[in-house]
C-alpha cells in the first residue's frame, strides 16, 4: 500500500467507548446506566454477557495508553460515562468520576496523544431514563448541564470535543426497535428522540464553547443508500431510508431543518409540539468538524408487502462480508464523502472519520499470535477511499480505527472482535494483532 500517503498533520487515531471497555461499573460512585440495566436483563445480549468488567480499562488504562503510544497514534477517541460524572443524571459532579478522566487525559498528553472526548456514547444515567430518557425534552437540558461540568474540568486539555455518538443508532436501535438499551419499541414514534438528542447537541455546543477554544463536532453514523431495484417505488423507498438514516441527523445541523418527508415538524407529544420555536437555531449551532462513522452501505428497495416500514433492506451482492455480515465496500466510503460534499457544499465543515473498522473471528494461537489479514485489507481499502475523496476535494482531517482493542459489542456481547489488539476476556491479556503492526508502520511512514 505504498500509495497510502497523507498530508502532514493528518490525524491518525483509534476509538473506543466507555461502556464497551471500562468495566468498574459500580466503582467510585458511578451510577447505573441504561446499558447496565439492559445487559443484565436475560436475552438482551446474545452471549449473556455484560459490561461489568469488559476490558477492565478503568484499572488498566496505563497499559492501554502505552499500547497507543507504541502504535504511534496522534489521537485517541474515548467516551465519558455520564453516570460517572452525574450518578443520577442531575447531581453535582462526582469528583471521583471526573478524576478518572483527569488521569486518563493527563496520561495521554504525557505520551503526546491528543485526547478526543465523546460526551454521550449511549450510556444514559438510568435515573434519566426513568423520567422518559431521550423521549423527554428535559433530557436535552440535562445533557447540556453535564457537558458544562465536564468542560469545566477538561476544557482545553481535550483537543477535539464530540457531543453525541450516532444519534441515529441510539434512536432506532434503542427506542425504535428495542435491540439496544433502553430496549423500547416505539418504531416511528421514536422520532422525538432524534430531535431531543440534536437539541441536546446544540445546547452542549454552547456549554462547551464557554470553556474551550478547541474544535467541537458530532459523530454521526452514515450509510450511503444503494438502490436495489428500478421502479418508482424502489426509488421512493431509497429516498425514505436516506432521509431517516442520513439526512435526519445532518440537514438540521447545517440549517436546513428536518427532511420534510419525515414530518417531524408537525409531530406532537402529550407535552406539546416536539420541535419548538427557536429549536432549529440551537440545533444548527456552528460546529467545527463533522464526525463520520462509516462501516458499510445499505441496499434498499420497495417493501414486497405492506409492513410497518416503507423500505426493505437487502444484501449487497458481490461484496465480501465481515462476521457481522456487513459488506466490505470501500467505494461506499468514497460515495458517502463525495455525496456529503455535493449535498452540503460550503456549509460542510472539515470531516474526521471518527469510526471505521470490521469484526472477524480473530484467533489467538498457542504461541500468542493473532493474524488478521482481512482487517488489514479492510483498513487499507478504506484509507485508500479516504485518500481518493481528499483528492476529489473533500476536506478530511483524520481517521480513527474502531477499535483500539476487542471489547463489549453491545447486543453482540463479546462475540464480535473489532480490535487492532486482541483481548482475552478471561485473563485481560492484550495481544497486538497483525493489523496493529500494519497501522503502526503506515503511521510511521507518513510525513
Cell for 223?
A: 450509510
CB 258 within 8 A of CB 196: no
Give the nearest distance from C-beta 121 to ligand FCB in angstroms: 6
355 in active site: yes
Does 82 contact ligand FCB by CB under 6 A?
A: no
Give the nearer residue to ligand FCB in terms of CB position, either 166 or 242: 166
Give the nearest distance from C-beta 437 to ligand FCB in angstroms: 22
Give the nearer residue to ligand FCB in terms of CB position, either 101 or 418: 418
CB neighbours of 364 closer than 8 A, spacing ≥ 6?
370, 422, 424, 431
Query: Which of these, 109, 112, 72, 110, lies nearest to 446 by C-alpha position?
Result: 72
Give the nearer residue to ligand FCB in terms of CB position, either 44 or 211: 44
Give the nearest distance from C-beta 99 to ligand FCB in angstroms: 25
- The span of 130-138, 161-169, 199-207, 326-334 binding ligand FCB (CB under 6 A) equals 161-169
Give the nearer residue to ligand FCB in terms of CB position, either 239 or 356: 356
Looking at 22, 129, 166, 374, which residue is catalytic?
A: 166
Give the nearest distance from C-beta 282 to ligand FCB in angstroms: 24
Write each residue from 113 to 152 as x if it is in contact with ligand FCB (CB under 6 A), else as -, in one continuous string.
Answer: ----------------------------------------
- Indicate if the alpha-carbon torsion angle 122, 127, 130, 131 is positive or negative: negative
Does 221 contact ligand FCB by CB under 6 A?
A: yes
SS3 content of the chain, % helix, strand, coil (to 5): 40, 15, 40
In this structure, the strands spanning 421-423 and 11-15 are: unpaired
Q: How far apart are CA 198 and CA 394, in angstroms?
A: 25
Q: How far is CA 126 from the centre of its chain?
A: 20
Give the nearest distance from C-beta 216 to ligand FCB in angstroms: 19
CB 105 within 8 A of CB 115: yes
Dihedral Cα 207, 211, 216, 219, nearest 10 deg? -60
Cell 467505494 -> residue: 331
Q: How far is CA 31 from CA 117, 126, 233, in A?
A: 20, 8, 48
Interface residue with ligand FCB among 61, 146, 191, 402 (CB under 6 A) is 402
Query: Residue 314: helix, strand or coil by DSSP?
Result: strand
- The span of 124-132, 141-149, 164-172, 253-261 binding ligand FCB (CB under 6 A) equals 164-172
Q: How far apart are CA 390 and CA 377, in angstroms?
A: 20
- The span of 51-59, 154-162, 165-173, 337-345 binding ligand FCB (CB under 6 A) equals 165-173
**Secondary structure element (H or E) that encloses residue 176, with its range:** none
Does 251 contact ligand FCB by CB under 6 A?
A: no
Give the nearer residue to ligand FCB in terms of CB position, either 221 or 246: 221
Interface residue with ligand FCB among 33, 165, 298, 435 (CB under 6 A) is 165
Cell for 135?
A: 423521549
Does 223 contact ligand FCB by CB under 6 A?
A: no
Give the nearer residue to ligand FCB in terms of CB position, either 167 or 202: 167
CB 404 within 8 A of CB 14: yes
Interface residue with ligand FCB among 418, 436, 438, 439 (CB under 6 A) is 418
- Give the number of residues in contact with ligand FCB, rule: CB under 6 A: 12
Does 169 contact ligand FCB by CB under 6 A?
A: yes
CB neighbours of 35 closer than 8 A, spacing ≥ 6?
19, 51, 122, 123, 181
129 in active site: no
Looking at 355, 374, 388, 412, which residue is catalytic?
A: 355
SS (H, E, C) 174-204: HHHCCCCCCCCCCHHHHHHHHHHHHHHHHHH
Largest Cα–Cα separation, the chain = 63
Site residues (CB under 6 A) for ligand FCB, limited to 267-326: 293
Does 220 contact ligand FCB by CB under 6 A?
A: no
| Exposed/middle/buried for residue 429 (C-beta within 10 Å: 0-12, 13-18, 19+) | exposed
Write each residue from 350 to 379 as x if it is in contact with ligand FCB (CB under 6 A), else as -, in one continuous string.
Answer: -----x------------------------
Q: How far apart are CA 134 and CA 182, in angstroms?
A: 10
Does 166 contact ligand FCB by CB under 6 A?
A: yes
Give the nearer residue to ligand FCB in terms of CB position, either 36 or 409: 409
Give the nearest distance from C-beta 413 to ligand FCB in angstroms: 12
Q: How far is CA 38 from the centre of its chain?
A: 19
Contact residues toward ligand FCB (CB under 6 A) are 17, 20, 165-166, 169, 221, 293, 355, 402, 409-410, 418
Q: Write out the catalytic residue numbers.
A: 166, 355
Amino acid at each position: 500500500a505504498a500509495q497510502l500517503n497523507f498530508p502532514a498533520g493528518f490525524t491518525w487515531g483509534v476509538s473506543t467507548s466507555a461502556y464497551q471497555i471500562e468495566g468498574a461499573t459500580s466503582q467510585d460512585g458511578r451510577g447505573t446506566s441504561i446499558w447496565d440495566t439492559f445487559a443484565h436483563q436475560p436475552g438482551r445480549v446474545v452471549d449473556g454477557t455484560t459490561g461489568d468488567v469488559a476490558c477492565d480499562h478503568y484499572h488498566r488504562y496505563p497499559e492501554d495508553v502505552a499500547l497507543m503510544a507504541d502504535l504511534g497514534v496522534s489521537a485517541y477517541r474515548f467516551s465519558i460515562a455520564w453516570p460517572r460524572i452525574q450518578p443520577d443524571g442531575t447531581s453535582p459532579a462526582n469528583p471521583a468520576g471526573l478524576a478518572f478522566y483527569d488521569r486518563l487525559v493527563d496520561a495521554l498528553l504525557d505520551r503526546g496523544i491528543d485526547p478526543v472526548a465523546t460526551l454521550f456514547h449511549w450510556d444514559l444515567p438510568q435515573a434519566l431514563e426513568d423520567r422518559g430518557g431521550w423521549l423527554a425534552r428535559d433530557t436535552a437540558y440535562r445533557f447540556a448541564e453535564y457537558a458544562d461540568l465536564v468542560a469545566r474540568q477538561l476544557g482545553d486539555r481535550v483537543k477535539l470535543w464530540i457531543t453525541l455518538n450516532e444519534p441515529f443508532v441510539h434512536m432506532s436501535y434503542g427506542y425504535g426497535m428495542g435491540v439496544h438499551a433502553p430496549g423500547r419499541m416505539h418504531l416511528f414514534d421514536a422520532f422525538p428522540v432524534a430531535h431531543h438528542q440534536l437539541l441536546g447537541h446544540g445546547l452542549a455546543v454552547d456549554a462547551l464553547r464557554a470553556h474551550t477554544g478547541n474544535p467541537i463536532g458530532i459523530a454521526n453514523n452514515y450509510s450511503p443508500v444503494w438502490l436495489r431495484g428500478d421502479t418508482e417505488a424502489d426509488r421512493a423507498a431509497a429516498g425514505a431510508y436516506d432521509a431517516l438514516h442520513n439526512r435526519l441527523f445532518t440537514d438540521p445541523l447545517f440549517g436546513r431543518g428536518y427532511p420534510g418527508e419525515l414530518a417531524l415538524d408537525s409531530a406532537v407529544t402529550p407535552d406539546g409540539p416536539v420541535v419548538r420555536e427557536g429549536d432549529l437555531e440551537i440545533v444548527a449551532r456552528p460546529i467545527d468538524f463533522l464526525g463520520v462513522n462509516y462501516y458499510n452501505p445499505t441496499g434498499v428497495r420497495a417493501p414486497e408487502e405492506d409492513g410497518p416500514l416503507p423500505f426493505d433492506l437487502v444484501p449487497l451482492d458481490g461484496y465480501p462480508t465481515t462476521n457481522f455480515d456487513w459488506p466490505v465496500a470501500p467505494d461506499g466510503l468514497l460515495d458517502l464523502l463525495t455525496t456529503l460534499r455535493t449535498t452540503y457544499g460550503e456549509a460542510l465543515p472539515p470531516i474526521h472519520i471518527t469510526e471505521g473498522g470490521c469484526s472477524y473471528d480473530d484467533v489467538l494461537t498457542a504461541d500468542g499470535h493473532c493474524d488478521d489479514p482481512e482487517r488489514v485489507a479492510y483498513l487499507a481499502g478504506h484509507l485508500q477511499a479516504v485518500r481518493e475523496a481528499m483528492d476529489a476535494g473533500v476536506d478530511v482531517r483524520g481517521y480513527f480505527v474502531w477499535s483500539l482493542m476487542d471489547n463489549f459489542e453491545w447486543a453482540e456481547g463479546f462475540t464480535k472482535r473489532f480490535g487492532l489488539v486482541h483481548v482475552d476476556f478471561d485473563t485481560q491479556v492484550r495481544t497486538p494483532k497483525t493489523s496493529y503492526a500494519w497501522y503502526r508502520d503506515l503511521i510511521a511512514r507518513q510525513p
